[in-house]
Structure 1
Amino acid sequence: MRNSFLFTSESVSEGHPDKVADQISDSIVDLFLSKDPEARVACETLTTTQLVVLAGEIRGNGIMDEDGNWAPGVPEEVEAAVRATVREIGYEQSGFHWQTFRFENNLHPQSAHIAQGVDAGENKDEGAGDQGIMFGYASDETPDLMPATLDYSHKILERMAIDRKAGTAPFLEPDAKSQVTLRYANERPVEATAIVVSTQHAPGYFFHNGEGDEAKYTELRKYVLGVIADVLPAELLTANTVYHINPTGCFEIGGPDGDAGLTGRKIIVDTYGGAAPHGGGAFSGKDPTKVDRSAAYITRYLAKNIVAAGLARRCTIQLSYAIGVAEPLSIYVDLHGTGTIEESRIEAAIPQLVRLTPKGIRTHLGLNKPIYKQTAAYGHFGRTADGDAFPWERTDLVEQLKSALAA
């Protein structure tokens, strides 16, 4: 690990077209889990100008039978959930309006060949829904044990969304992106060298190359700089910090009207901002039997507890699975040279503390609940929602880890 370097992470707002798609997909996961906690859901969403399309595979009591017949009233509930999600985000624009966009529902039954491998039986445990590798990470850079570059990028946009919805920043529109570059010395962030914020705005709030309304743009820029100053620790903002606020100029056309959105295209934003590996599988739109989601949550939970227990300052954990097989194929722990104990000892202890089968993960974290739409913007990790930490953010394994690894 280098001691001194620059590192950058980005975030995108809930109004970014890909994040609109993620939130819609997870609203469907929540709807179906509220009807059947054992529902199987793989829901993909496409958004573009005045159009939302759902596709994917589902199964569940009171939802759809194996022949593809919907339970009475469910298609209407699906469309209502989609429109309510877009309304909550704030889209009431001519190019994308929650009331008037065209809607297509192409969800269909889950493959019986997948079901036979995943479902539990008399002589087999519930198997993983697919093969793959999943990673979890934690770092003591921030109180939430997240990489600082990503943590600040998320918090800038989250604060802007709160102000937009409260009416205190009426010139903001839903689509926005942020990017934070920090200089590290001795592996610690010591200075913000560059901060980028591009936000969709009301008509006229731009000024670029002599074009636009300079006074309105100055108002927007002053507001954004104020948010940055509130989010980042004061000692990181120096005379050397460079700010890029809407660097391309006008940003009035945004969201799905400005760029098509798809579920699962912001997986680095969803996880660790590039500070840790990613297995490649998206989270949103998938029920918790899918290890792309649940195993990524349990690895974060384990990594966070390891750091919170003082066993390391940084921790990466990898799990791997085969479709239809319950137990993971491998467990890998990397403490990045910051640990107080051998990684191999932690690898041996983890399965004694948490059963890492799909069902074991879901049971330990209580994942068969409609909690997922709120994960689909501003990151799945290092956050609370509705005042409570997500279950994979708990640090209730600290004492057990210490006891299991005591010399």
Structure 2
Amino acid sequence: MKRLKSSESVCQGHPDKIADILSDAILDELIRKDPYTKASIETLITTGLVHISGELSTDAYVDIPEIVRGTLIEIGYTKPEYGFDGYTAGVITTISDQSPELALGIPSGGAGDTCIVVGYATDETENYMPLACNIANEITFTLDEMRKDDFLPFLRPDGKSIVVVEYENNRPLRVDSVTVLIQHEPYITEFDLRDEIEKKIVKKVIPEELIDEKTKIIINPIGRFVIGGPMADTGLTGRKTIADAYGTAAPSGGSAFSGKDPTKIDRSASYMARCIAKHIVASGISKEATVELVYIIGMEYPVSIDIKVDTDIDREKLIKKIKDIFDLSPSGIIERLNLRRPIYKKTSMYGHFGRKDEDFIWEQLDNKILRELKDV
């Protein structure tokens, strides 16, 4: 049986992704100075303006406008002709204290929010991620790197990639389509742009055996894309949840990640759910696994745990083993994954999962855990 799975990824200069990056850049600076910071930082971006809002409880002080402007320049918004740049953008800050009702009502170790989180893993790739996610993220990463390194000097910061992979008997067969939308300087022709992106990005990133004569390669389908970024569209934190996670290969828990400290269980437990799913697949129990956890604010452990695998293993026995191995309380997750560190800015780009980075502890496999799971 054939089916399609797809995934989206956005460049650093996409308005929504700028908002995610800014929210996490501010969070990192707060955690660097006060690891016990509690924060939910929301960013709105429009032409010439960045509005930072949210709730905060911390002993740290950070210069938010300085962080915002430095991050915008780092992303690549350095020229006035972009209609938005880090040197001139206005920054408004309206951050309030954390609600005293929440602070008093949440016991030590209790979940800081009510949420559903989902973790997923598959053995179809070396990093246990859906193939479409890997390709889409690699395309946007390469676009950003080639722009910043001046290998493709005609590129501007805004951009997006969508990849659709065809499966047969639940295994990747071919890339059905790849779409790249990329902002560019006005001097390059549409033909030259498409030719350069196809040859130097698309066909370099996608393995040759996955492209055939029916693969659709679509680059800037409506033509010119000179005006982009916040000049063309507003950006908001948390609007790229599917791009941040697993594409269409797994359901979304519905919560955004960026700007939230690790006591916000919708972020930290999403990392733990991925860690669990990856260990299940890596142990050989199943070719793919989906882990769903439900948390209620103030309660220490999830009220519901569900694990979907593609084998006839005793699910109740597997869930019991997972509970024995992993401490699923907020404090247990924070400790195991060492989440009170300024690691969040880099999570906000090119997906939160499947990354090769020593700080992403939820991606690291533990041989002891793998041996324990093999006994299920």
TM-score, with normalisation over the residues of structure 2?
Answer: 0.96
Q: CA deviation at 1:219?
A: 4.7
1:244 matched residue in structure 2: 218
2:223 paired with 1:254: no
Q: CA deviation at 1:195?
A: 1.0
Runs of 5+ unmatched residues, structure 1 = 64-73, 121-125, 208-216
Aligned pair partner of 2:85 in 97, 100, 112: 97
Q: Deviations over 1:324-364 (max 9, x none)?
A: 111111111001x2x36322222111111111111110000
SS at match of 1:316: strand
SS at match of 1:96: coil
Q: CA deviation at 1:178?
A: 0.7
CA distance in 2, matches of 1:405, 1:195: 38
RMSD of Structure 2 on Structure 1 (CA): 1.4
The residue identity in structure 1 corresponding to 2:244 is: D
CA distance in 2, matches of 1:169, 1:340: 51
The residue identity in structure 1 corresponding to 2:19 is: A
SS at match of 1:384: coil
* Aligned residues with identical type, % of pairs: 42
The residue identity in structure 2 corresponding to 1:57 is: E
Aligned pair partner of 2:156 in 173, 178, 181: 173
Q: CA deviation at 1:206?
A: 3.8
1:88 matched residue in structure 2: 74
Give the 5 Å matches for 1:6-405.
6-63=4-61, 74=62, 77-94=63-80, 95-120=83-108, 126-207=109-190, 217-335=191-309, 337=310, 339=311, 341-385=313-357, 388=358, 390-396=360-366, 398-403=367-372, 405=374
CA distance in 2, matches of 1:405, 1:243: 42
Q: CA deviation at 1:202?
A: 0.7
SS at match of 1:57: strand
Stretches of 4+ aligned residues off by more than 6 angstroms = none
Bigger shift: residues 345-354 or 369-378: 345-354
CA distance in 2, matches of 1:172, 1:269: 22
The residue identity in structure 2 corresponding to 1:98 is: G
CA distance in 2, matches of 1:146, 1:389: 18
Q: CA deviation at 1:404?
A: 5.0
Runs of 5+ unmatched residues, structure 2 = none
Q: Deviations over 1:252-293 (max 9, x none)?
A: 111111100000000000000121111111000100000110
Q: CA deviation at 1:93?
A: 3.3
CA distance in 2, matches of 1:198, 1:225: 15
CA distance in 2, matches of 1:38, 1:191: 46
CA distance in 2, matches of 1:173, 1:220: 15
1:210 matched residue in structure 2: none
CA distance in 2, matches of 1:17, 1:245: 20
**Contact 2:280/2:373 (<8 A) preserved:** no
CA distance in 1, matches of 2:313, 2:322: 14
